Amino acid sequence: MPQLGESIAEATIVSFLVREGDVVEVDQDLFEVETNKATMTVTSPCRGRVAQFLVQPSQSYVVGAILGYVEATREEAARAGFDTSMITAAAQPNASNESGPAEPKEVQGVQPTVRGLPVPAHAQGASYMSPRLKARMAELGLHAADLAGVAGSGAGGRVTIQDFERFIASLEKQKISPASSMRVAVADAMRRSWTRPIASVGLPMALDALFAHRRQADPKPGPALYALRALALALAENSAPAGRLVGNKIVHPSAIDLGFAVEATDGVFVPVIRKADQKRLENLVTPYNQLIALAHQRKLPLEDTGGAIAVVTNFGTFGLTWATPIPMPEQTLVLGLGAARMAPRWDEAQGQFVPAMEANLTLSFDHRVLDGGAAGRLLSRVAELMSTPEKL
Amino acid sequence: MSVTYLEAIREAQARALRQDPRVFIYGQDVGVFGGAFKATKNLAREFPGRVIDAPISEDAIVGLAVGAAIEGMRPVVEIQFADFSSVGFNQIVNQAATLYWRTQVPCPITIRLPSGGTSGSGPFHSQSLESVYSHYPGLVVMTPATVEDAYGMLLEAIAIDDPVIFCEHKLLYYHLKAEQLPTEALPAGRARIARAGRDLTIVAYSAMVHESLAAAEELVSEGYQVEVVDLRSVKPLDTDTVMASVARTGRLLCVGESWPWGGVSAEVIARVASEGYDLLDAPPQRLNAKDTPVPFHPHLWAAHRPTARSVTNAARKLLRS
Amino acid sequence: MIQSAAPAELNRTSPLREAYLEGYRWMLLARLLDDKLASLYRGGKIHGGVFLGRGQEALSVAIGLALKRGDVFAPLVRDLAGRLAFGETVLDVVRTFMGSVLGPMRGRDGNVHRGRPREGMLPMISHLGAMTAVVNGMLLARRMKGEHGTVGVSCVGDGATSTGSFHEALNQAAIERLPLVLVVANNRYAYSTPNPRQFACRDLVDRAVGYGVTGHSLDGTDLAECLRVMAEAVRLAREGGGPQLVVAHLLRLCGHGEHDDAGYIEARVKESALGRDCLRVAEERILAESWVERAAVEAWQAERAQLVEEAVAKVQREPGPDPFEEDWLTLATGHLAEGDSSNQSS
């Protein structure tokens, strides 16, 4: 089965276009197959006689599976790019690639890798990990996610200890450097967070009013602080969207404590502003700036971290206009702010496009707790509040 | 010259009688007749007064042995078939097995149980009771699989200061032969690697060692190297050797001819699962006799107990999991 | 079967007088100790059970006195008098009942399950009839070792005669013609089950013929008869007469254990000659024969009560077994013991 499109791992046989015994030309269509993206045909690699089909209609076969055999002359095969050993291999469908007396002949393994795929076909990753594998992984400090790209040769495609050791051995051929503890911590948080269905919504908002307000303010609030304050007020009106789903219950926030992401070397800090709904914007600027300074010095006091019910992240500082940040594992929401830019806006009164400052506002959320509509309503309310910054 | 498993048992008793005046043999038909299986052939003649015919009274046979042991003797009891030991069960598990614990007076008796199935023997002449006796504290349970062990372990059983249940397999009596009697032996409580391998550990004992070895041989053609551990004595159980083997292979199959419920194979698996969980690359499996009485007809009998074929199948399934 | 003769006239110097008085003194000690144990049980000082020999002291003491040091004795539940006469110490008794770590069973077993096999006294297991074959084994072993002249007594009750073990062991002893004296204390009830639900023969002693052994019958309420018949049975066994079956007729004058009020024992049986208290009968005879003065009897009682009190006072201060000191090993062969390793949770 050829690779019929990026990320396609398997295809279904729709029909046979030739019969066993037919003589086919090179590139002649042999099968009609269907992937989850399209219907297309599989062609003959060379001229020859169709010796055998190994597949059934309506059945799916992984990329790399042998669909059948075309009997060809040695010259024809050579012209098609096969060498003699490949011809021998094709004639013995059960032969293992690996020689050596100790390797089981009948083990029905998949090919460790299939050319052209970003991940190996049939790699179920570590869907089942034996105690021995888990123990070995614990010994090396590895997680299931680290094995996502390893093709298992065990039953049901599971990763055996041998697959694992081969994988580890293969890594040692490349440059290896230790991940910082910050990197490991972020990885751990993201992995845990990613166990939930995370979705994102977004909308563009005009920043003219916000910038106008900011020009006159002293001290000047950062753009993210406007977003933070707006989110605080929106959640103060209805905190349910920031609740956490635990079992079959929603746990509501006890206070509107909001975090904001501060980039540091090799990771991110998240200082927290407590009860952000109860302080006006101008009173938040100083503590906000202090927290950023402390974060950069890696000196955030314990009481100023943790316990946030949502986080604001200003990915616009990287020039990004759109992103789908992942909420922290213990939170349901993360509000993102994109880079501001001049954009044409349709002016109804003037009957023409006019230039305006605009940025995207995104909200990523735990889809178990919120649906798109609720997330959209919350995000629209935040945008609305940000458009009247004097009220923040 | 060659010596059978049965002859090894006879020779071990002859040697014990010769070397130790405290040893005597007591059981049904063991005297001039030489025993139902001829395990005491000629011994009564050679050792007059020390190879004694008993009435069909398993309770009293074992009880008498306990009394003699208190007096410093080392009786060897032959129960004609392991199955009949149930009639002497009380004296074995309540009298013999508890004596030392209660009184600090050792109870050096050896109870020979001709065990296991032979074709056509039916439900009352085929039982394997090592699991039952292993359940009771105070007993050593030996299950020799080789001619060498039949000889060496029986001598050790007689020398040990505790009651020993010596499960000798009837199927091996005549079928198993060695060139000669061994001159040295591994002590009881130590398992033996009967065959080295790296893909799967089969833990077996008694006749099942041979079924497992045949299965291991069969699996070579499929590219598997199966390790076979012969427990030799099921109590004490050599957990260390089993664990070391599982550490090498990551897979465990226990084979026993006794019934599955709460038996030796269950114990091996329990120990590996609780103490060696991290060694396992697949759920440990066991293969036992079916949970019915032992059937008479050869067709049923052969399907009732584990055989090389069923061990091969179970092993193959485990190797592919 | 040997019938008991009518009691002979005794005088102050007859050998029977000496045996009778010695028997009485052991019976007295046994009764006082039993009473004390019952009292300790009711006071919550004894765990498990207390099983008394009340009403069976005459038979039991006769066994103990008929045996010599070096003989084998497998007593049953109600043989305190016989045990004491055979050589068991009051301390061994009290220590086992109270679970002292210094007792012969070290707290591993209790109450009547005590013994010192090396000294010829076997600790009974609870399975009735199971001790007789063990006695057989000891006797056979002695014969094989060339040791002659010792006797083994195994005690059972009427209930045990229904077991296969009883049959197997008596038959075995008969085949081997062992010097075994098998004493059946027919106290009329096996726990609550009366004789007619236990056996259908006229008298248990009738079974002796079937086993090819000598049978003896005796009145267990009469110390003189007990002494005479037991001495005779033991003599016959010792002299090579093969197994002797002694059936004693008596009544248990207490419950099966102290937890049992024995309400099932019919008044008519209690009031019959069987229901006589052998201790009182013995005492009355001693006084009637003027073998000793009443004051002497009272002094014996006081001395023995004192002995019991002292033993109990001593044992009550002794430690029970410490589970952390216990080795939890069952085998004599240390290197074969698995120990507690298979049970990590404990």
Q: What is the per-residue DSSP string for B152-165?
A: HHHHHHHHSSS-EE
Highest mean pLDDT among A33-37, A125-129, A215-219, C76-80: C76-80
CB contact under 8 A, A154 and B223: no
CA distance, residue B174 to nearest chain C CA (Å) = 30
pLDDT surpassing 80 at residue A311: yes
In a domain, A243, yes or no: yes
A99, A103, A107, A130: which to substitute to probe chain B, counting the most B Cβ within 10 Å?
Answer: A130
Mean pLDDT over C250-271 rounds to 91
CA distance, residue B89 to nearest chain C CA (Å) = 11
In a domain, A309, yes or no: yes
In a domain, C312, yes or no: yes
CA distance, residue C140 to nearest chain B CA (Å) = 7
List chain A residues with CB under 8 Å of B280. 130-132
Query: Can B135 be counted among the known catalytic residues?
Result: no
Mean pLDDT over A333-337 rounds to 96
List chain A residues with CB under 8 Å of B282. 130
CB contact under 8 A, C137 and B65: yes
Mean pLDDT over C40-56 rounds to 91
Q: Where are the beta strands (DSSP E) in C179-233?
A: 180-186, 189-190, 193-194, 214-219
pLDDT value for A36: 64
Residue B317, chain A, CB below 8 Å: the answer is no
Question: Domain residues for C139?
Answer: 21-321
Nearest to B133 by CA among B104, B103, B105, B163: B163
pLDDT surpassing 90 at residue C180: yes
User: Which of C118, C126, C172 minimises the CB distance to B60?
Assistant: C172
Number of domains in chain C: 1
Mean pLDDT over A145-162 rounds to 82
Residue C45, chain B, CB below 8 Å: the answer is no
Clarify whether residues A160 and A257 are in a common domain. no
Reading the block at residue A173, the tokens are 């051929």
In a domain, A368, yes or no: yes
pLDDT value for B53: 98
Is there a contact between C63 and C73 (Cβ–Cβ < 8 Å)? Answer: yes
Clarify whether residues A129 and A31 are in a common domain. no
pLDDT surpassing 90 at residue C2: no
Clarify whether residues A143 and A236 are in a common domain. no
Nearest to A204 by CA among A328, A369, A331, A316: A316
Clarify whether residues A210 and A353 are in a common domain. yes
Residue appearing with tokens 């906000």: A288
What burial class does residue A329 get, using C-beta atoms within 10 Å of its C-beta: 0-12 exposed, 13-18 middle, 19+ buried?
Answer: middle
**Tens-place pLDDT, residues B21-61:** 999 999 999 999 999 999 999 999 999 999 999 999 999 99
Radius of gyration of chain A (CA): 29
In a domain, C37, yes or no: yes
pLDDT value for A122: 45
CATH of the domain at A218: 3.30.559.10
pLDDT value for A100: 40
pLDDT surpassing 80 at residue C67: yes
φ, ψ dihedrals at A366, nearest 5°: -75, 110
Reading the block at residue C50, the tokens are 């207390």
CB contact under 8 A, A104 and B223: yes
Sheet holding B285-287, edge to edge: B192-195, B226-230, B200-204, B252-255, B285-287
Clarify whether residues A55 and A115 are in a common domain. no
What's the pLDDT band for C338 if we cut at 50, 70, 90?
confident
Reading the block at residue B196, the tokens are 């080295």
- Nearby residues of A8 by Cβ (< 8 Å), 6 or more positions away: A35, A36, A37, A63
Residue C123: cis peptide before it, omega within 30 degrees of 0? no
Number of domains in chain A: 3
In a domain, A345, yes or no: yes
Residue A385, chain B, CB below 8 Å: the answer is no
CB contact under 8 A, B280 and A132: yes
The answer to whether chain A touches chain C by having 3 or more C-beta pairs less than 8 angstroms apart is no
User: Which of B24, B105, B187 minimises the CB distance to C144?
Assistant: B24
ipTM (interface pTM): 0.95
In a domain, C106, yes or no: yes
Nearest to B96 by CA among B131, B58, B52: B58
List chain A residues with CB under 8 Å of B279. 131-132, 135
- Which of B7, B78, B125, B168 is catalytic? The answer is B125
CB contact under 8 A, A133 and B223: no
- Which of B58, B78, B130, B168 is catalytic? The answer is B58
In a domain, A4, yes or no: no
pLDDT surpassing 60 at residue C341: no
pLDDT value for C91: 97
Q: Which of residues 134-163 of A touch B (CB under 8 A)?
A: 134-135, 154-155, 160-161
List chain B residues with CB under 8 Å of C130. 59, 63, 90-91, 94-95
Instruction: State the Cα–Cα distance between residues A118 and A148, nearest whole angstrom.
Output: 12
Terminal C-alpha separation, chain A: 60
Give the three-class secondary structure for C290.
Answer: coil
CATH of the domain at A60: 2.40.50.100
List chain C residues with CB under 8 Å of B187. 335
Residue of B nearest to A136 (CA): B278
DSSP code for C116: B
Residue B224, chain A, CB below 8 Å: the answer is yes
Residue B248, chain A, CB below 8 Å: the answer is no
Residue appearing with tokens 């791992």: A9
Reading the block at residue B113, the tokens are 């149980």
Mean pLDDT over C30-55 rounds to 92
Query: Can B257 be counted among the known catalytic residues?
Result: no
CA distance, residue B250 to nearest chain C CA (Å) = 21
Is there a contact between B143 and B113 (Cβ–Cβ < 8 Å)? Answer: no
Clarify whether residues A198 and A344 are in a common domain. yes
Residue appearing with tokens 């009609």: A32
Clarify whether residues A382 and A252 are in a common domain. yes
- All structural domains of chain B, each given as residue ranges with its CATH number in brackets, are 3-178 (3.40.50.970), 192-319 (3.40.50.920)
Which of A51-55, B17-21, C175-179, C302-306 has the lowest average pLDDT? A51-55
List chain C residues with CB under 8 Å of B103. 104-105, 115-117, 123
Residue appearing with tokens 């009967």: B194
In a domain, A291, yes or no: yes
List chain B residues with CB under 8 Å of C108. 101-102
Clarify whether residues A135 and A172 are in a common domain. yes
Subunit partners of chain C (3 or more CB pairs within 8 A): B
**Tens-place pLDDT, residues B178-215:** 999 999 889 999 999 999 999 999 999 999 999 999 99
10-residue mean pLDDT series, chain B (321 residues):
94 98 98 96 97 98 98 98 98 98 97 92 95 97 98 98 97 93 92 97 98 97 97 97 96 97 96 95 96 94 95 96 82
In a domain, A99, yes or no: no
Mean pLDDT over C213-228 rounds to 97
pLDDT surpassing 70 at residue A124: no
CB contact under 8 A, A130 and B281: yes
| Cβ atoms < 10 Å from Cβ of A370 | 23
Give the three-class secondary structure for A268.
Answer: strand
Clarify whether residues A323 and A211 are in a common domain. yes
List chain A residues with CB under 8 Å of B278. 131-132, 134-135
Give the three-class secondary structure for B168.
Answer: strand
pLDDT value for A92: 44
Which of A130-144, A329-343, C51-65 has the lowest average pLDDT? A130-144
In a domain, C340, yes or no: no
Residue B274, chain C, CB below 8 Å: the answer is yes
CB contact under 8 A, A106 and B224: no
Following DSSP, what letter does each residue of A130-177 receive, concatenated?
-HHHHHHHHHHT--GGGGTTPPP-SGGGPPPHHHHHHHHHHHTTS---
Terminal C-alpha separation, chain C: 58
Is there a contact between B92 and B62 (Cβ–Cβ < 8 Å)? Answer: yes
Clarify whether residues A333 and A250 are in a common domain. yes
**Residues belonging to chain A:** 392
Question: Domain residues for A132?
Answer: 107-176
Mean pLDDT over A80-97 rounds to 51
DSSP code for A113: -
CATH of the domain at C126: 3.40.50.970
Clarify whether residues A32 and A64 are in a common domain. yes
pLDDT value for C9: 47
Highest mean pLDDT among A73-77, A191-195, A215-219, B147-151: B147-151
Clarify whether residues A255 and A348 are in a common domain. yes
Instruction: State the Cα–Cα distance between residues A230 and A385, nearest whole angstrom.
Output: 6
CB contact under 8 A, C144 and B94: no
In a domain, C49, yes or no: yes
What's the pLDDT band for C126 if we cut at 50, 70, 90?
very high
**Tens-place pLDDT, residues B291-302:** 999 999 989 999
